[in-house]
Amino acid sequence: MISKSVVSSSGEGDADPIPLSALQHWAYCPRQCALIHLEQAFEDNVFTLRGQADHARADQPGMELRSGLRVERALPVFSDRLGLIGKADVVEFAPDGTPYPVEYKHGSRNKKASIAACDDLQLAGQALCLEEMSGRPVPEGALYYATSKRRRAVPITSALRAAVENAAAEIRAMLAAGRTPPPVNDERCRACSLRDLCQPEALSHAAEMASLRDALFDPDA
């Protein structure tokens, strides 16, 4: 059984542990991840507010027995090996103690593949934390989408495990360097709550002008 009172170190020397949510932010947009976790900037929009409402029940710590499963809500999880820490919305424990994480997300389960992959990464991070904490393999988890009120099962594959490890290492390197990546200025920006802070159009235009200026005045060109 996993205790909610367990407290972990980061497993990366004196480095602070990386929030599990950073995995999803990094996969969606490295600049968004840096603005939130490096610059400590965040703003709500309609999408984030809906997401908070969808999480309301899952964010209330508690335990119940359901169809032979022990169901824990808002369960703190960590991985010393990867230096990850966070909270699993729902974890269902089979009679043998095997954990099954369920992450709550706003919207429909019929998301674009690129967006769904970001959710998968965060869920896989939870699975790796639960494996380390429980000592049991976690071969699968699920994403519950509030709009469609349906689950989407996610196998925790070797490729997904490797992606979690790579993302954690890249995020840690970004935080250590203290540098915010440049804006992407593409379709991802339209739904991003940090668009006004990020200013992708203005910064991308400034970078283009700087590149053009350098090309025009390069004596070796």
Sequence spans of domains, the chain: 18-216
DSSP string, 178-206: T-PPPP--SGGGGG-TTHHHH-HHHHHHH
Q: So what's the pLDDT on residue 148?
A: 86
Tokens found for residue 72: 């824990």
Tokens found for residue 130: 């639960």
> So what's the architecture of 18-216 in CATH?
Alpha-Beta Complex (3.90)
Q: So what's the pLDDT on residue 58?
A: 62
Going by C-alpha positions, the residue among 24, 3, 37, 18 that lies closest to residue 179 is: 37
The series of mean pLDDT values per 10 residues for the chain, 221 residues long, is 43 76 96 92 55 59 92 97 96 97 87 90 98 98 92 97 98 96 83 80 54 56 53
Q: Map residue 74 onto helix, strand or coil.
A: strand
Q: So what's the pLDDT on residue 213?
A: 55
**Which pTM was predicted?**
0.79
Nearest-angstrom CA–CA distance, 106 and 145 = 6
